[in-house]
Amino acid sequence: MANKISQTSSDRSPPLYAQYALEVLEGSIKSPYTKYPFVDKKSQLVNIALVGGPSVAAAINEAKQVLARNSKQGFLQFFRNKQLVVAQDGGMSYTVGDLAKPSKEKIEFGYLAEGVLQCAIAARLVERTKNITPAMVADYVRDYLNSPNEWQMGSKTTTVARRMEYEADNQSINGKDLVISYVALNSKAFSFLKNRANVLHEDIYLKSFFQDAAKYVNSGAPAQHARYFYMNGLVDKLEVKSLGVIGQGKTKADIITEYYQGYDPRRPQSGTPIPFKLNISVKINNEEQFGQATGIYAEAMERFAAAVGVTLSSTTKQEIQKLVPTSLFGGKPRPTASPEDIKSSKTHTKVYKLVYEDIMEQLNTQRGKIESFFDGIENFISFKDPSIVIVNVGGGDAVYYADRFNDLKKRLKDNIINVKLVAQPSGNYQMDFFIAPLTKSVLRLESRPIGPTFRNYVKSGEQLRTWLSEI
């Protein structure tokens, strides 16, 4: 999973919150639910209090000036020491100061989304034909938070892994199916949920995850599988398992679902696990990113180029190795120069130029490249596993199917690829891919340093998302 890391109090746009706060202070707010998407209809506007600093009137005037300059940094500084309460939701108060001020705790929201979606799938398989609601999903998440049954899977001590067992009714026989859900989150994500256990599906940070997870399992493959196991006349054993935290191994799935062929309830260990089409890669908040190849050395750039079906030329690889020599550390290559030295010498920009120009030379307007291009993308996002389904939670329940690639390769085999390369003034590189004569982007590559690391992103374009979502 391309796992977005969010800071719990800087997950939204501070200037938008400031504008909302000003309208509340001035009494001019009329329809906050449509104008400001972060305001829930159940939210209760409370008395506004400004603790310390200038008068409310002076604060309004100064904040207006800050917003007029569109200065995010100025906004952050202005509200840094103020306690301006703007809303109360689910028993929790939110202040402009808190929302503007970055939290020291970074939460991996991608893992949270995986946990919520996995609990929704478990709910779907257990509840059979019932409509799954966000509140029901929250109940299954609480089962995880409160379960005394640890899941021993030999992972890091910072992982909180639990095993939950459920019985599920069958339509025409007395025996009940066994549904086992194995959920694992890192300790920070676990604590984040635990602290919100009473308001999970109504929490301002999590609400959209619960809504989209419930919507997804009420239709399509999850609902079809639940009906099948309800009506098949057998006593089945089903398992839903987290992979995101503990390691995906040879799959790109974050969640896998299996049934045990030949299961006999009198022999709990019987049966052979067979995966069915609920192997899910989770994305969040309409995140376009399919993945990344981290690093600036030759091996990392080779993996990056392979995402679009390109094998870097031997000349390019040799030049990268000269620019960024490596030594083995724990069996893996690591640059001998520090990230600071690489950035100060602009070495990373030279590497990007070599790689992107090599990709462009091999793909731009070249015929016969469609199959290898899509092979590269397919392998990068799913290891060419057609059972993988990509589910986007928190952004409207978009679903993408990895098994669409074979059709695309056949349908577009005679088309050519157009490549648009942008070398930004900062030294970062960006490349967009189009399938002629279509005008919407299929894929985007981006490379840039972030802190001490060098990130190479593979992002889906609008056209590819449209193709992969087609039923």
| Cα–Cα dist 303/355, whole Å | 11
Count of domains for the chain: 3
Domain boundary among 264, 284, 304: 284
Same structural domain, 409 and 298: yes
pLDDT at residue 93 greater than cutoff 80: no
- Whether 100 and 86 share a structural domain: yes
pLDDT for 181 = 95
Mean pLDDT value of segment 233-246: 84
Both tokens of 238, joined, read 């089903």
Mean pLDDT of the chain: 79
Q: Show which of 284, 306, 332 is a domain's final residue.
A: 284
Residue 429 confidence (pLDDT): 95
pLDDT of 26: 52
Q: Are residues 213 and 305 in the same domain?
A: no
**Phi, psi angle pair for 11, to nearest 5°:** -85, -5
Which tens digit of pLDDT belongs to each residue from 268-298? 999 999 988 778 888 776 567 778 889 999 9
Whether residue 321 sits in one domain with residue 226: no
Across the range 319-334, mean pLDDT stands at 90
pLDDT in tens, 352-390: 999 999 999 999 998 899 999 999 999 998 878 888 888
Among 21-30, 63-72, 143-152, 267-276, name the most confident range.
Answer: 267-276
Containing structural domain, residue 43: 5-104
For residue 39, give the DSSP letter: S
Is the Cα torsion angle 311, 316, 319, 323 positive or negative in sign? negative
Environment class of 470 (CB within 10 Å of its CB; exposed 0-12, middle 13-18, buried 19+): exposed
Q: Are residues 233 and 131 in the same domain?
A: yes
Distance CA 348, CA 19 (A): 40
Residue 26 and residue 168 in one domain: no
Claim to verify: residue 307 and residue 199 sit in the same structural domain: no
Tell whether 19 and 120 lie within a shared domain.
no
pLDDT digits (tens, 9 = 90+) for 392-439: 887 666 788 889 999 999 999 999 999 999 998 888 999 999 999 999
Tokens of 434: 């189009």
Residues 34-73 have pLDDT tens digits of: 455 444 443 333 333 333 334 445 555 655 565 555 444 4
pLDDT band per the 50, 70, 90 thresholds, residue 249? low
Q: Give dist(CA 247, CA 1) in Å, integer.
A: 11
Alpha-carbon distance values, 283 to 40, 72, 210, 239 (Å): 23, 28, 14, 22
Instruction: Mark whether 277 and 129 lie in a shared domain.
Output: yes
Taking residue 344's Cβ as centre, other Cβ atoms within 10 Å add up to: 10
Contact 135, 60 (CB under 8 A): no
Question: Do residue 435 and residue 362 come from a single domain?
Answer: yes
Reference 309, options 430, 404, 456, 417; nearest CA is: 417
Q: What is the dihedral of CA 231, 237, 238, 239, to 10 degrees?
A: 170
Residue linked to tokens 């200065």: 71
Q: What is the pTM of this model?
A: 0.72
Summarize pLDDT for 177-209 with one digit per residue, the tens: 999 999 998 888 888 898 889 889 887 778 888
For residues 322 and 185, membership in a common domain is answered with no
Of 68, 89, 104, which marks where a domain is finished? 104
Q: What mean pLDDT is predicted for residues 328-342?
A: 89
Whose CA is closest to 77, among 14, 146, 20? 14
Residues 356 and 402 both lie in one domain = yes
Chain segment 442-452, per-residue pLDDT in tens: 999 999 998 88
The answer to whether 36 touches 96, Cβ cutoff 8 Å, is no
